[in-house]
Amino acid sequence: MINERRPDDMVRITTPQLADAYIEEQIKALREQIGDKKVLLALSGGVDSSVVAAMLIKAIGQQLTCVHVNHGLLRKGEPEQVIEVFKNQMKANLVYIDATDRFLDKLAGVTDPEKKRMIIGGEFIEVFAEEARKLDGIEFLAQGTIWPDILESEAGIKAHHNAGGLPEDMAFELVEPVRILFKDEVRVVGERLGLPANMVYRQPFPGPGLGVRCPGAITRDRLEAVRESDAILREEFAKNGLEGKVWQYFTVVPDFKSTGVKNGKRTFDWPCIIRAINTTDVMEVTVEHLSNELMDHLVQRIINEVPGINRVLYDFTPKPPATVEYE
Ligand code: XMP
């Protein structure tokens, strides 16, 4: 299984039957590879790590320890869903770390986008490594590496973001049960493993999370405005049949204020920018056009429900020239 490659003639997993066959085969292979040893997994709640967790829970149960690090930049309801699905429903051995203060304290006053990314990535590895050191007898590290990750790292397009990063003394053997799958196959397998549809069909969410949607120095109040407006946008997209149809959609709250008026009184608050895009390869993206009715409804909800917002703007810019994220 280590360094396993996708066979050239492998049939694309598109049906429940094919997914079930893959799951059965993997469970057997995982039990053979792991025996009675212990496995550690960084569980973000994203599609790939969630499917890996569900597969390992089925194969080895309590021999798996999942660590969910909440860096304070997750979307509304995400840590709660990870705890509900994996700890309460699947009875997994889950360690939940609320590291919000640690991340936000380190990020305080940092305006440079690349520096913010580095702090978030570096701190994540530190928190995870600290937890790993507290656990005894772990021999394996599970990862949600998927086949495009391997192809892209081999082609030199991007460094393999899963492998590596941990301190050198923490040498684990890797367990990668979705390594030979494409993303659409991971989703079908995830559904068959009993994961909720809104977890399996999630839109992409960047590693630095809401941190890149709170441009400039992150403050707790502005971050909260991003989180609340994003939750409203997701709720309305789901209600209006756009969830799963539009490739990615989110809000951004930039670091400037403008004058407004509410109940006859002057306000001086942030704008909230809505971005909704479609793409196949993320190299080029087009903008989703919303109906005027939905747009008006979103404006009303966001200005009335989100503290600190007095304007709502829509980003009509394709990529290129604008990237998807603001930082
Ligand atoms: P950009 O902004 O480069 O985004 O047009 C393209 C896609 O990549 C996602 N993205 C990231 N994902 N870590 C990630 O895991 C990151 O640092 C990151 N930056 C952007 C973005 O959400 C979009 O889907």
- Report pLDDT digits (tens) over 312-322: 999 999 999 99
Over residues 140-188, the pLDDT tens digits come to: 999 999 999 999 888 887 665 554 578 888 889 999 999 999 999 999 9
Looking at residue 71, what is its pLDDT? Answer: 97
* 103 and 82, same domain (yes or no): yes
Look at ligand 1, atom 18, and give the residue with the nearest C-alpha: 206
* 93 and 152, same domain (yes or no): yes
Q: Which atom of ligand 1 is nearest to the CA of 325?
A: 2
Q: From the CA of 118, how far away is ligand 1's center (Å)? A: 14
* 189 and 214, same domain (yes or no): no
Over residues 22-50, the pLDDT tens digits come to: 999 999 999 999 999 999 999 999 999 99
* 52 and 160, same domain (yes or no): yes
Q: Which atom of ligand 1 is nearest to the CA of 285?
A: 5
* 270 and 306, same domain (yes or no): yes
Residue 326 lies in a domain: no
Q: Does residue 208's CB lie within 6 angstroms of at least one atom of ligand 1?
A: yes
* 160 and 25, same domain (yes or no): yes
Residue 174 host element (H or E) = strand 173-175
Q: At 272, give phi and psi (nearest 5°).
A: -120, 125
* 243 and 120, same domain (yes or no): no
Looking at residue 102, what is its pLDDT? Answer: 98
User: pTM to 2 decimals?
Assistant: 0.93
Structural domain ending residue among the three candidates 200, 224, 242: 200
**How many Å apart are CA 145 and CA 149, to the nearest integer?**
6
Structural domain ending residue among the three candidates 180, 200, 220: 200
What is the total count of domains within the chain? 2
The β-bridge relationship of strands 248-252 and 265-278 is antiparallel
| Residue 105 confidence (pLDDT) above 60 | yes
Q: Does residue 206's CB lie within 6 angstroms of at least one atom of ligand 1?
A: yes
The proportion of the chain whose per-residue pLDDT surpasses 70, expressed as a percent, equals 97
The β-bridge relationship of strands 258-262 and 265-278 is antiparallel
Coil, helix or strand at residue 272: strand
Structural domain of 145? 16-200
Looking at residue 254, what is its pLDDT? Answer: 98
Q: From the CA of 54, how far away is ligand 1's center (Å)? A: 25
Considering only 25-29, 36-40, 102-106, 200-204, which range has the smallest mean pLDDT? 200-204
Residue 281 lies in a domain: yes
User: What six digits make up the tokens of 103?
Assistant: 């991340």
Q: Does residue 325's CB lie within 6 angstroms of at least one atom of ligand 1?
A: yes
Q: Does residue 207's CB lie within 6 angstroms of at least one atom of ligand 1?
A: yes
Q: Does residue 324's CB lie within 6 angstroms of at least one atom of ligand 1?
A: yes
- Mean pLDDT, rounded, for 266-294: 97
State the CATH number of the domain containing residue 171. 3.40.50.620
* 46 and 131, same domain (yes or no): yes
Q: Does residue 117's CB lie within 6 angstroms of at least one atom of ligand 1?
A: yes
Q: From the CA of 283, how far away is ligand 1's center (Å)? A: 11
Q: Does residue 248's CB lie within 6 angstroms of at least one atom of ligand 1?
A: yes
Q: From the CA of 294, how far away is ligand 1's center (Å)? A: 26
**How many Å apart are CA 191 and CA 189, to the nearest integer?**
5
Q: Does residue 46's CB lie within 6 angstroms of at least one atom of ligand 1?
A: no
Q: At 248, give phi and psi (nearest 5°).
A: -155, 140
Are 250 and 280 a contacting pair, CB within 8 Å? Answer: no
Q: What is the DSSP letter of 100?
A: H
The β-bridge relationship of strands 38-42 and 138-142 is parallel
User: What six digits make up the tokens of 189?
Assistant: 């397998």
Q: From the CA of 324, how far away is ligand 1's center (Å)? A: 7
Residue 143 lies in a domain: yes
Structural domain ending residue among the three candidates 142, 176, 200: 200
* 186 and 153, same domain (yes or no): yes
Q: Does residue 204's CB lie within 6 angstroms of at least one atom of ligand 1?
A: yes
Average of per-residue pLDDT values in the chain: 95
Residue 274 lies in a domain: yes
Q: How far apart are the first and last CA of the chain?
A: 37
Looking at residue 160, what is its pLDDT? Answer: 58
State the CATH number of the domain containing residue 240. 3.30.300.10
CB proximity list for 56: less than 8 A, separation 6 or greater: 30, 39, 41, 64, 142, 175, 177
